[in-house]
Amino acid sequence: MMNAIDWPQGYLPGATDNFVSNEVILAGLTAAEIWTFLTEPARWPSYYANSANVRFHSGDGPALALGRRFSFDTFGFTINAEVVEYVAPARDVPGRVGWHGWGGEGDGRLDVHHAWLVEDLEGNRVRILTQETQNGAPAKELATTWPNPMLNGHQEWLDGLTAAARGASGDGS
């Protein structure tokens, strides 16, 4: 059985202004190999062109942890974020990381919950699921934009993440 994202109140898919879901299942990588590239935001710009200017608040970092606050630029927004879920992958336990992010002000404010699930599967496979829900006027605009910038952007993030992990593991396939 594959696991699912745990949603906080106010961010349940279908009850927000925008939702996007991306997933890959690959052979030859483990959740542990993916985890460092995902949970160290300073690495994101090296494999995901739509992230920049990663900063940690209060001298925290370089890795995400429960309660840790950070910010980064993406999709034309500076997103301030706080990690609200963090469970490193372990045997039979999927890795889970999620943050509440916000950016903009007034009618231009965007509030998001971005969650990741990374789990080892039978047959030397790994599953990476990333889902994001959004509220606010910018979310409504993103939901009706074609092609979907969130869907395409998050797919680029997944593709870059897995390529970076493969490169580090010595498996360039």
Confidence of residue 173 (pLDDT cuts 50, 70, 90): low
Kindly state whether residue 7 falls inside one of the protein's structural domains.
no
| pLDDT value at 5 more than 90 | yes
Strands of the chain, DSSP E: 18-27, 52-56, 69-74, 77-87, 95-103, 110-121, 125-135
Q: Which residue has the tokens 């969130």?
A: 150
| Residue 147 domain-assigned (yes or no) | yes
Side-chain-facing half-sphere of 20: CA atoms under 13 Å: 22
In a domain, 37, yes or no: yes
In a domain, 161, yes or no: yes
Phi, psi of 89 (to 5 degrees): -65, 145
Q: What is the mean pLDDT of the chain?
A: 95
Span 135-162, mean pLDDT?
96
pLDDT higher than threshold 70 for residue 38: yes
- Is 76 within the bounds of a domain? yes
Model confidence at 172, in pLDDT bands (50, 70, 90)? Answer: low
* Phi and psi based region of residue 28 (left: phi greater than 0; alpha: psi -120 to 50; beta: remaining): left
Query: What is the tens place of the pLDDT at every residue in 75-99?
Result: 888 999 999 999 999 988 999 999 9
CA distance 112 to 4: 18
pLDDT value of residue 2:
81
> What average pLDDT score do residues 133-162 get?
96
Q: Domain total for the chain?
A: 1
The reported pLDDT for the residue numbered 1 is 65
Identify the domain containing residue 25 by its residue range: 18-169
Q: 72-98: buried (b, 16+ CB within 10 Å) or exposed (e) per residue? A: bbbeebebbbebebbebbeeeebbbbb
Where residue 143 sits, what CATH number does that domain have?
3.30.530.20
CA distances from 94 to 1, 9, 28 (A): 12, 22, 17
Instruction: Examine the pLDDT at 70 and tell me if it is beyond 80.
Output: yes
